[in-house]
Amino acid sequence: MSKLTLQRGDITRLEVDAIVNAANSSLLGGGGVDGAIHRAGGPAILEECQAIRARQGGCKTGEAVITTAGKLPAGYVIHTVGPVWGGGQRDEPKLLANCYRNSLQLALDKGLKRVAFPSISTGIYGYPIELAAPLAIETVRNFCAEHGQMEEVIFVVFSESDERLYQALLKD
């Protein structure tokens, strides 16, 4: 049975099998979590992202790719591209759920047991956290119930208000 847990803090400091990066489609780093992961992990992550770009032209919204974690304490970085919020009329919920599912599937394919997720798309991409968090938790719960091999999935949040929201949802 998979354990779903919550931590507030810096995802780049976690010693887990993989951390998930809320990437952009270019895979070249950016702001927020993406920039922090690239800075903390060093050039090895960017080099692998560039190789993926050369091979497949980046990463589409809802999809995920995996790279080394460079200097990070995690084993791997799973890069997923969340949807930009446009009011919910452009399949944003489906695309966001795909981010979580596809990231977990990559982890399973690699035999990884402990994965940490940031709150995907809720920063600069503008997805309202009160809509994104329940979707994230439900998607992860369903995936773990169906596949069973995950030991722990950690939701990593930055703010106290996000922590309260996730705590309430994880109690249900």
Of the candidates 69, 46, 49, 68, which has an alpha carbon nearest to the alpha carbon of residue 57? 49
Which amino acid is residue 8, in one-letter code? Answer: R
Give residue 117's identity as a one-letter amino acid code: F
Provide the 3-class DSSP secondary structure of residue 40: helix
Strands of the chain, DSSP E: 3-8, 18-23, 64-68, 76-81, 114-117, 152-157
Report the helix count and the strand count for the chain, using DSSP H and E. Answer: 5, 6
Residue 162 designated active-site? no
List 34, 91, 109, 162, catalytic entry: 34
H or E element in which residue 3 lies:
strand 3-8
Residue 139: closest CA among 113, 105, 108: 105
Q: Could you give the 3-state DSSP secondary structure of residue 8?
A: strand
Instruction: Please give the positions annotated as active site.
Output: 34
